[in-house]
Amino acid sequence: MEELKQVNCKELQQLNLFNNKLVGGIPEAICNLSKLEELYLGNNQLIGEIPKKMNHLQNLKVLSFPMNNLTGSIPATIFNISSLLNISLSNNNLSGSQCIQLQVISLAYNDFTGSIPSGIGNLVELQRLSLQNNSFTGEIPQLLFNISSLRFLNLAVNNLEGEIPSNLSHCRELRVLSLSFNQFTGGIPQAIGSLSNLEELYLSHNKLTGGIPREIGNLSNLNILQLSSNGISGPIPAEIFNNHLSGSIPKEIGNLSKLEKIYLGTNSLIGSIPTSFGSLPSSIGTWLSDLEGLFIAGNEFSGIIPMSISNMSKLTVLGLSANSFTGNVGFLTSLTNCKFLKNLWIGNNPFKGTLPNSLGNLPIALESFIASACQFRGTIPTRIGNLTNLIWLDLGANDLTGSIPTTLGRLKKLQKLHIVGNRLRGSIPNDLCHLKNLGYLHLSSNKLSGSIPSFGNMKSITTLDLSKNLVSEFVMACDKNNRTQSWKTKRDNMEIPTPIDSWLPGTHEKISHQQLLYATNDFGEDNLIGKGSQGMFRFRILNIMIDVASALEYLHHDCSSLVVHCDLKPNNVLLDDDMVAHVADFGITKLLTKTESMQQTKTLGTIGYMAPAEHGSDGIVSTKSDVYSYGILLMEVFSRKKPMDEMFTGDLTLKTWVESLSNSVIQVVDANLLRREDEDLATKLSCLSSIMALALACTTDSPEERLNMKDAVVELKKSRMKLLM
């Protein structure tokens, strides 16, 4: 660097001598380059101290001297360079205990001692702080985590101690946090779960104790989690799973002789299951003999499941769902050795083949068996009725044929039976009616026929779906006088009949235009909504909507259990021969006790009719969910606009459109219902305005502010009286 002593380039703004073989000290002449903004001298062989006159470089933004042999302390005068944004002095032999107010500080791999200055917390623009591989001692300053802009913090390989400050939650922008190889004690703070942008967390080789906080599961962007070599105890929380791991499972995992549970679910792991999972010599019980749980669902594993997996005799959970396993399922027969097995999940794998009759020899302890979407053919094994402790059975979305075995009636503890989407034939066995604990019965989309058995003894049933079969269907309905009716309709195809499905639902068969004219006492076309099979007089429409409201009133207020339909829409309102409306299709209905006001569900209604707030991520439904759907239905039949009409895009919905025109109802309702030349225009306007106001009152965003169906019926009848006067 001797040649630079005479440097006199006063206009120089950037000097980059990085990655050369420069020797000697840094000449003070560099400090005379007053316009210098960027100075790169890294990866050379420079020695000596940093010149104290560096503060003369008042325009300096970047000072980069890493990977040299510089010694001494960092000059305090550098603190006065207000323009400095980035300083990198890592991999030198610098000493002292002073840090700098910057956006980026890199002092790694030096010999700094003492505590980290608390004043570093005043660096409000700091984004990156690298102090690893020094000899800092003491606790982390609380003020350090007041730097909300901090993205990268590496304090690893020092002698720091004390507890990890809980106020680290203030650093919401943090991507990388490395505190490994220190002497930290106490527990992992729960507040760490609020660092939603965190991608890498290193806490290994400390003296941390306690459990792994479940809040770590909130870190959805986390890629790396290192907690090894601590004193952490307790269970691994389920919340930390669902990651993006890839590659294959190393065969060496079989060497973990004390391992009790393996959970690798919902990643992108590939390959086959290591044979070491099952290679357990029965004579010595080594390797994975203590394994109780194996959960690798939601990956990309392929190949055949080895028979030797059954040698893990202590298994209670075996989760293999949602992979690409193929081949026969002979391993199911071998699982008789796993006498403690309670949960067996193999769904969403392309196994093909048939379910063996030896399925009935599975451990008597089995409580849940999920084998949906496996492309299974053949019949349901009759010996499945031997699994008398079964609580949940799911064989849906396969290609099963034959009939439903009557032996299912032996499963007295069964709570959930799901055999949707197969090709099962025959009648629904009466034996199912004896399952008093059954709450969820889904047999839809098969070819079942015959009459439906009486489910009166099934006191726990909350969800019953027999749709898209060939059975005779009982439809729960109410007339205008709130009397329950049992309305039996013969189903001769797999579709629910929807005769006037383009705007209002149907009867048992398609209704012609002439039939509608007859049903409406030969009112002419001018008094009908639209043309063809869609016409209907306004008074008849109002009566139909009162029928529907009365049915909901009965379900919500007069049944022994509160009934929430959950899917009210035109296709689920049927008209009988007298044009009386009946609410039908109770496939996803929820039953609430008198003490319940709402219930959580994952079964959603139809888009456009369901209340958006209730049917969000929590799936909360109540009677007010039906009220919302009724309000949308009311708007639809009087405006002849569907919720999914192509005119409704972006923020414009049927509801917001009606709301925006609440003072001009003539622009909302169907043109055939209201004409400016009508003699009784004022009466009609008043009536239809009341109906639209009622519809809006039923669809308020807050469920608590919506009308109940008792009040809705009263208001509708008032509107009808206006038309009769």
Residue 529 DSSP class: S
Phi, psi angles (nearest 5°) of residue 550: -65, -40
Query: In the structure, what pLDDT confidence band is assigned to residue 283 with cuts at 50, 70 and 90?
Result: very low
CA–CA distance, 720 with 725 (Å, rounded to integer): 9
Higher pLDDT, 48 or 445: 48
The predicted structure's pLDDT at residue 274: 56
Over the stretch 384-442, which tens digit does the pLDDT of each residue have?
999 999 999 999 999 999 999 999 999 999 999 999 989 999 999 988 888 989 988 88
Say which residues have a Cβ less than 8 Å from residue 146's Cβ, sequence separation at least 6.
121, 167, 170
Query: In the structure, what pLDDT confidence band is assigned to residue 105 with cuts at 50, 70 and 90?
Result: confident
Q: Which residue has the tokens 């990956």?
A: 299
Q: Quote the domain boundaries for residue 699.
A: 502-724
The predicted structure's pLDDT at residue 576: 60
Q: Which two tokens stand for residue 468?
A: 């898209």
> What's the whole-number average pLDDT of the chain?
77
Higher pLDDT, 261 or 189: 189
pLDDT exceeds cutoff 50 at 262: yes
Which range among 67-71, 121-125, 168-172 shows the weakest confidence by mean pLDDT? 121-125
Which residues sit opposite 47 in a β-bridge? 69
- Tell me the mean pLDDT in the region 271-292: 46
pLDDT exceeds cutoff 60 at 99: no
What's the one-letter identity of residue 251? K
Closest CA to 636 of 496, 512, 520, 501: 501
| Residue 508 domain flag | yes
pLDDT exceeds cutoff 90 at 365: yes
| Residue 649 domain flag | yes
Residue 159, helix vs strand vs coil = strand
| Residue 623 domain flag | yes
- The stretches of 20-178 forming alpha helices (DSSP H) are none
In this structure, what CATH number is given to the domain that contains residue 710?
Answer: 1.10.510.10
Higher pLDDT, 263 or 25: 25
Backbone angle region of 378, left / alpha / beta, with phi > 0 → left and psi within -120 to 50 → alpha: left
The predicted structure's pLDDT at residue 221: 84
The predicted structure's pLDDT at residue 263: 59
The predicted structure's pLDDT at residue 725: 56
The predicted structure's pLDDT at residue 302: 83
pLDDT exceeds cutoff 60 at 181: yes
Sign of CA dihedral 107, 108, 114, 118: positive
Residue 138, helix vs strand vs coil = strand
Residue 385, helix vs strand vs coil = helix
Over the stretch 440-469, which tens digit does the pLDDT of each residue have?
888 888 888 877 676 656 777 777 777 777
The predicted structure's pLDDT at residue 399: 94
pLDDT exceeds cutoff 60 at 46: yes
Query: In the structure, what pLDDT confidence band is assigned to residue 296 with cuts at 50, 70 and 90?
Result: confident
pLDDT exceeds cutoff 60 at 530: no
Residue 637 DSSP class: H
Q: Using the CB atoms, write b or e for 212-239: b if 16+ within 10 Å.
A: bbebbbbbeebeebebeebebeeeeeee
Residue 669 DSSP class: S
Residue 354, helix vs strand vs coil = strand
Query: 233-237, 486-490, 669-673 — which one is most confidently predicted on average?
Result: 669-673
CB atoms within 10 A of CB 64: 20
CA–CA distance, 110 with 116 (Å, rounded to integer): 14
The predicted structure's pLDDT at residue 462: 72
Over the stretch 580-631, which tens digit does the pLDDT of each residue have?
777 776 667 777 655 555 555 555 678 888 887 655 445 677 889 899 999 9
CA–CA distance, 100 with 113 (Å, rounded to integer): 15
Over the stretch 672-715, which tens digit does the pLDDT of each residue have?
777 777 667 788 888 889 999 999 999 998 888 999 999 999 99
| Residue 333 domain flag | no
Query: In the structure, what pLDDT confidence band is assigned to residue 722 with cuts at 50, 70 and 90?
Result: confident
The predicted structure's pLDDT at residue 554: 82
- Tell me the mean pLDDT in the region 486-492: 29
Sign of CA dihedral 187, 193, 197, 201: positive
Domain count, the chain: 1
| Residue 560 domain flag | yes
Q: Which two tokens stand for residue 652?
A: 């414009």
| Residue 103 domain flag | no
Closest CA to 344 of 287, 402, 384: 384
Over the stretch 123-168, which tens digit does the pLDDT of each residue have?
788 889 989 988 899 999 988 888 889 999 999 999 999 999 999 9
Q: Is 581 exposed, middle or buried (0-12, 13-18, 19+ CB in 10 A)?
A: buried
Closest CA to 430 of 408, 456, 453: 453
Higher pLDDT, 305 or 597: 305
The predicted structure's pLDDT at residue 410: 95
- pTM metric for this prediction: 0.41
Which range among 3-7, 34-38, 103-107, 557-561 shows the weakest confidence by mean pLDDT? 3-7
Say which residues have a Cβ less than 8 Å from residue 33's Cβ, sequence separation at least 6.
7, 9, 10, 12, 15, 57
| Residue 196 domain flag | no
Residue 199 DSSP class: -
What is the distance between the terminal CA atoms of the chain, rounded to a whole angstrom?
Answer: 106
Q: Which two tokens stand for residue 631?
A: 């309000």
- Tell me the mean pLDDT in the region 466-495: 40
The predicted structure's pLDDT at residue 667: 86
CB atoms within 10 A of CB 649: 8
Which residues sit opposite 269 in a β-bridge? 247
CB atoms within 10 A of CB 125: 12
The predicted structure's pLDDT at residue 551: 85
Query: In the structure, what pLDDT confidence band is assigned to residue 522 with cuts at 50, 70 and 90?
Result: very low
Say which residues have a Cβ less than 8 Å from residue 518's Cβ, sequence separation at least 6.
none
Q: How many CA atoms lie within 13 A of 269 on its CB side?
A: 24
The predicted structure's pLDDT at residue 182: 96
Q: Which residue has the tokens 């083949």?
A: 353
The predicted structure's pLDDT at residue 517: 34
- Tell me the mean pLDDT in the region 238-244: 57
| Residue 269 domain flag | no
- Tell me the mean pLDDT in the region 331-347: 91
CA–CA distance, 512 with 499 (Å, rounded to integer): 9
CB atoms within 10 A of CB 77: 15
